[in-house]
């Protein structure tokens, strides 16, 4: 029961984050297709951030399916993750409205990195709470995506000053890597059920 | 359980979309009835979009009642639908604030069409997941509304350049068609229960 | 289960309405107490609308506790109620920002009245669905609040042109009347449980 | 069941409050690090308020785990708490945008104090409802955090006129005090379970 409320609160926050980002798509004053042009980079940033929040929701969902009990530490590690995710609308709009200028693009990467770190901390908090023989511990054992992502973010942040396009290409690649569903947990859960 | 959380997240996103659209109804500065006049087309666009989001919520609700298991593919097909629905506030405001100018009116139709396509993809993903003998497969077998809607959208989008009134009339007609409750699924569910 | 999702969606919409109204409390630029002065009428309108949405949530909650099955008609009557409630932020801000000018004050009353009508329609739809011997039908039998409210709204709307203070006094009175908890349903439920 | 809906509605409101505060982080127009400078005090205020809303959600969560039945009085005491919490975005933005000017900083303290009072009223309403021998009553018996917080708020509000930095230091201290998890209730619940 306790777990349900943590999930419901997280769902609420993620649902709001994913939706209010669209408020940064300022309605253009013109009525020609031209008028949509300055909106385009904001729109593409929105698509990327929508994808990221979707991935976080998806992984969060899987992780808590493999979680049995919720402790005070888990509650706070979860809020810490939600905090960094809540900065997505700001970081997305700053990058998008400035057509991928170097510093905003690097700042977007910092927010991505911190959210990744917070997710990792949450995962470790749950595993510490449930024991190293738990379902989740074995499922994330060979977590190559989780290990690769911070490396790519750390590479992308300085590269934003060389070429913001390389940086945003790396951000997009990480998102695509995560789109591969987390079959490890699904498999572990499936094996467990049968 | 997994299904519940997908429903809860979708409900959250739909509830926010339907509500933040009202933020585009900018409070007029004047205090006379005249002051409401420029708000009127935005208000009518809001009514239409409210109706559409209501219809999607309603159909989504029915569809998942006829769904038993949720896979990774269904999660992503659902997020894909939510993405297009999240563009409703933007498309509604652009059309409404420009008093049904041709391009914004056509753009609104494109968003309607893409949401319809995403809904269809979600439906097919669920059916593929559950087998062609499933409750949902038989319920949507004679889905004339789902077949008619994209045709009407595709007709309305170019017609927006001839007369935006015809286009918005078609959008309204599609909404009214869908207001007819999805008795097929209700019936199938009813038959199943007894 | 079906009922739960209708409740969850309604809770979501009501939670958003009650919270986004606060976005109309524009942060003043000054740092003196004086700077809060123009915010005061918006704040008082916010308090009144918060109270109304709270009352609607409370009554909605009680009504659906006394509801067993949900039909397509109930879903739409519920969305119709949510539509009128979604206009509260707009009506509240228009009245508040114009310091209770006559037309905005009357418009606020129209929204209150329409929400009241929508609530009545929803109640009757549920009763029609459940039979006149249902729990809800007997609970609302002596619904003096529900009968008095529209009369007071109908009186307040034209009175807004004589004195907006009388009108807003009437709106406040109706809210206070509803603050008396709906003991009828609570009692009926209580009797039923024991 | 009744309790679940109160929790869900509160979760919704808290999730929205915690997220819309981020909308006050106005996207800077510049693309240099300098451009983030005026955002910094708003950001720090956001961090503090995020922490407070997180604490309220956490404590609310624990309190209702120790609550069995929900009465009309509890519903209204809960809405009263949500009302004061809904003023956080306004108070946070006013304080942050004015770089901790005395009156906005004191006003922030008033909102903190009123939310604290409302939480206390809610707690007492639940205890009155459940009897002084209830789980919650014994859990909050030695509530030193709840007793210390209002004293510190009351000290901080006048001190904001001497030095807003002392006041905001006190607000931060209260938040840190509450970060110590409410082990009393957790313990009482734990003892009860075994």
C71 pLDDT band, cuts 50/70/90, is: confident
C7 touches chain D (CB under 8 A): yes
Verify whether the Cβ–Cβ distance B94 to A57 is below 8 Å: no
> What pLDDT score was predicted for residue C193?
42
Task: Check residues D106 and B2 and name the one with the higher pLDDT.
Answer: D106
Cα distance between residue B134 and residue A108, in whole Å? 44
Nearest to B5 by CA among B58, B57, B64, B59: B64
Contact D11 A8 (CB under 8 A): yes
Arithmetic mean of pLDDT over chain C: 87
pLDDT (0 to 100) of residue B193: 43
For residue range C16-35, list pLDDT tens digits in order. Answer: 999 989 988 889 989 999 99
Give the tokens for residue C104: 């905005």
**Which of A177-181, C186-190, D102-106 has the highest mean predicted lDDT (pLDDT)?**
D102-106
The span from the CA of B81 to the CA of B64, in Å, is 14
Instruction: Report which of residues D191 and C159 the model is more confident about.
Output: C159
Q: Are residues D5 and C61, on separate chains, in Cβ contact within 8 Å? A: yes
Q: Give chain D's residues under pLDDT 70.
A: 1, 132-142, 180-194
Task: Report pLDDT for D193.
Answer: 43
Name the band, by pLDDT with cuts 50, 70 and 90, for residue A182.
low
Give the residue among B16, C16, C56 at the shortest CA–CA distance from D14: C16
The Cα A156–Cα A158 span in angstroms is 6
Neighbours of A34 (CB within 10 A): 10
Q: Which residues of A touch D179 (CB under 8 A)?
A: 76
The pair of structure tokens assigned to C185 is 């349903």
Nearest residue to D57 (alpha-carbon basis) of C14, C21, A115, A76? A76
For C73, the closest chain B residue by CA position comes to B181
* A162 and A109 Cβ atoms separated by less than 8 Å: no
Q: Which chains touch D (3 or more CB pairs under 8 A)?
A: A, C
Chain B environment of A11 (Cβ under 8 Å): 5, 8-9, 12
* Cβ–Cβ below 8 Å for D12 and C7: no
D31, D34, D89, best to mutate vs chain A, most A CBs in 10 Å: D31
Q: Which two structure tokens, joined as six digits, stand for B18?
A: 């339907």
CB pair distance less than 8 Å for B97 and A16: no
Q: Are A34 and A95 in contact (CB under 8 A)?
A: no
- A26 in reach of chain D (CB within 8 A): no
Q: Where are the alpha helices (DSSP H) in B35-163?
A: 39-65, 72-86, 88-97, 102-130, 135-139, 144-162
Overall pTM surpassing 0.95 (yes/no): no
Q: Are C135 and C187 in contact (CB under 8 A)?
A: no
Let me know: does B149 contact B120? Beta carbons within 8 Å: no
D contacts of A82 (beta carbons < 8 Å) = 18
Q: What angle do CA B165, B166, B169 make, to 5 degrees?
A: 85
Q: Is the pLDDT of residue A96 over 60?
A: yes
Q: Is C20 on the interface with D (CB under 8 A)?
A: yes
DSSP chain D: -HHHHHHHHHHHHHHHHHHHGGGGSPPPS--SGGGGTTHHHHHHHHHHHHHHHHHHHHHHHHHHHT-----HHHHHHHHHHHHHHHTHHHHHHHHHHTTS-HHHHHHHHHHHHHHHHHHHHHHHHHHHHH-TTSHHHHHTTT-HHHHHHHHHHHHHHHHHHH-HHHHHHHHHHHHHHHHS--HHHHHHHHHHH-
Interatomic CA distance for residues A8 and C6, integer angstroms: 16
Read off the pLDDT of residues C118-136 as tens digits, 9 standing for 90 and up: 999 999 899 888 876 666 6
DSSP C134: S
- Which range has the worst mean pLDDT, A72-86, C41-55, C178-192, D123-137? C178-192
Q: How many alpha carbons fall within 13 Å on the CB side of residue C79?
A: 22
A94·D28 Cβ contact <8 A? yes
Contact status of C61 with chain D (Cβ, < 8 Å): yes
> How many degrees, rounded to 5, is the angle at CA B8 between CA B5 and CA B12?
140
Give the pLDDT of residue A61.
87
Chain A residues whose CB is inside 8 A of the D50 CB are 83, 86
Which range in A57-66, B93-102, B126-135 is most confidently predicted, on average pLDDT?
B93-102
A1, A10, A15, A29, best to mutate vs chain B, most B CBs in 10 Å: A15
Q: Which residue in B168, D78, D165, B186 sits closest to C58, CA to CA? A: D78
Q: What are the pLDDT digits (tens) for A120-158?
A: 999 989 988 887 666 666 666 667 778 889 999 999 999
Rounded to whole angstroms, the Cα distance separating A57 from C95 reads 39
Q: Say if the Cβ atoms of D89 and C20 lie within 8 Å.
A: no
User: Contact at 8 Å (CB) between C16 and B16?
Assistant: yes
Q: What is the pLDDT of residue B135?
A: 67
Is the pLDDT at B45 greater than 70? The verdict is yes
Q: How far apart are CA B35 and CA A14, in angstroms?
A: 37
- Which of A4, A6, A10, A16 to mutate to test binding with chain D, by most D CBs within 10 Å of its CB? A16
> Cβ–Cβ of B83/A50 closer than 8 Å?
yes
Decide if B27 and C101 are in contact by the 8 Å CB cutoff.
Answer: no
Q: Which of residues 152-181 of C touch B (CB under 8 A)?
A: none
Q: Measured between CA atoms, how close is C137 to chain D, in angstroms?
A: 20
Q: What is the per-residue pLDDT for D194? A: 41
Residue with tokens 């009388």: C166
The verdict on a CB contact (< 8 Å) between C20 and D20 is yes
Q: Please state, for a pLDDT cut of 70, what percent of chain C lies above it.
A: 86
Interface size C-D, in CB pairs within 8 Å, comes to: 76
At B72, the pLDDT band (50, 70, 90 cuts) reads: confident
In this complex, the chains that touch A, judged by 3 or more CB pairs closer than 8 A, are B, D
Contact A41, A96 (CB under 8 A): yes
Predicted confidence at residue C194, as pLDDT, reads: 41
The chain-wide mean pLDDT, for chain A, equals: 87
Residues B120-175 have pLDDT tens digits of 999 989 988 887 666 666 666 667 778 889 999 999 999 999 999 999 999 999 99
CB contact (8 A) between residue B18 and residue C20:
no
Residue A159 has pLDDT above 60, yes or no: yes
| Spatial CB neighbours of B40, under 8 Å, sequence gap ≥ 6 | none
* B117 vs A133: which has the higher pLDDT: B117
At C108 the pLDDT is: 96
Q: Which one is predicted more confidently, A75 or A141?
A: A75
Burial class (CB in 10 A: 0-12, 13-18, 19+), C99: middle
Q: Using the beta-carbon criterion (under 8 Å), do B57 and C9 form an inter-chain contact?
A: yes
Q: How far apart are the C-alpha atoms of D112 and D156, rounded to whole Å?
A: 11
Q: Are D115 and D77 in contact (CB under 8 A)?
A: no
C83 or D4, greater pLDDT: C83
Query: Is C1 in contact with B65 (Cβ distance < 8 A)?
Result: yes
Residues of C in contact with D94 (CB under 8 A): 27-28
- CA-based nearest residue to D189, from A77, A72, A73, A64: A72
For residue A60, the Cα-to-chain-centroid distance in whole angstroms is 10
Write a three-state SS string for B163-189: CHHHHHHHHHHHHHHHHCCCHHHHHHH
Mean pLDDT over the full length of chain B: 87
Closest CB to D8: pick one of A8, A16, A104: A8
Question: Which of A13, A72, A90 is closest, CB to CB, to D15?
Answer: A13
Confidence at residue B83, expressed as pLDDT on a 0 to 100 scale:
97
Radius of gyration of chain C (CA): 18
Contact D130, D137 (CB under 8 A): yes
pLDDT of residue C159: 96
| A133 DSSP assignment | T
Tokens of A138: 């074995």
Number of neighbours of residue A148 by Cβ within 10 angstroms: 14
Quote the CA–CA distance of A61 and A7 in Å, as a whole number. Answer: 8
Provide ipTM, 2 decimals: 0.87
Does residue A68 sit at the B interface (CB-CB below 8 Å)? no
Residues in chain A closer than 8 A to B77 (CB atoms):
none
Specify the residue for token string 């209002």: D150
Residue B119, both tokens = 């809904």
- Report pLDDT for C183: 56
Mean pLDDT throughout C95-120? 94
- Search chain A and give the residue with CA nearest B87: A22
How far, in Å, CA of B90 to CA of B93, rounded? 5
Of C75-79, C106-110, D177-181, minimum mean pLDDT range = D177-181
Read off the pLDDT of residues C47-64 as tens digits, 9 standing for 90 and up.
Answer: 999 999 999 998 898 888
Q: Which pair of structure tokens corresponds to residue C46?
A: 């916010």
User: Does the CA dihedral C194-D4-D6-D9 come out positive or negative?
Assistant: negative
Q: Residue B27: list chain C partners with CB under 8 A.
A: 24, 90, 93-94, 97
How close C1 comes to chain B (CA, Å)? 9
């Amino acid at each position: 029961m306790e777990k349900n409320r943590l999930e419901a609160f997280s769902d609420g926050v993620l649902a709001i984050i994913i939706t209010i980002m669209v408020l940064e798509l300022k309605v253009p004053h013109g009525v020609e297709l031209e008028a949509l042009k300055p909106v385009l980079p904001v729109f593409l940033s929105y698509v990327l951030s929508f994808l990221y929040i979707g991935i976080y929701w998806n992984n969060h969902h899987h992780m808590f399916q493999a979680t049995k009990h919720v402790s005070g530490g888990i509650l706070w590690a979860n809020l810490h993750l939600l905090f960094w995710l809540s900065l997505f609308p700001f970081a997305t709009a700053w990058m998008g409205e400035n057509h991928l200028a170097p510093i905003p693009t690097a700042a977007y990467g910092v927010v991505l990195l911190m959210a990744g770190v917070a997710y990792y901390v949450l995962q470790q908090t749950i595993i510490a709470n449930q024991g190293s023989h738990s379902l989740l511990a074995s499922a994330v054992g060979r977590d190559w995506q989780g290990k690769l992502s911070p490396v790519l973010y750390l590479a992308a942040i300085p590269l934003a000053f060389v070429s913001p396009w390389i940086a945003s290409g790396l951000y997009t690649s990480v998102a695509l890597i995560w789109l591969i569903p987390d079959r490890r947990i699904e498999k572990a859960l499936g094996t467990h059920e049968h």
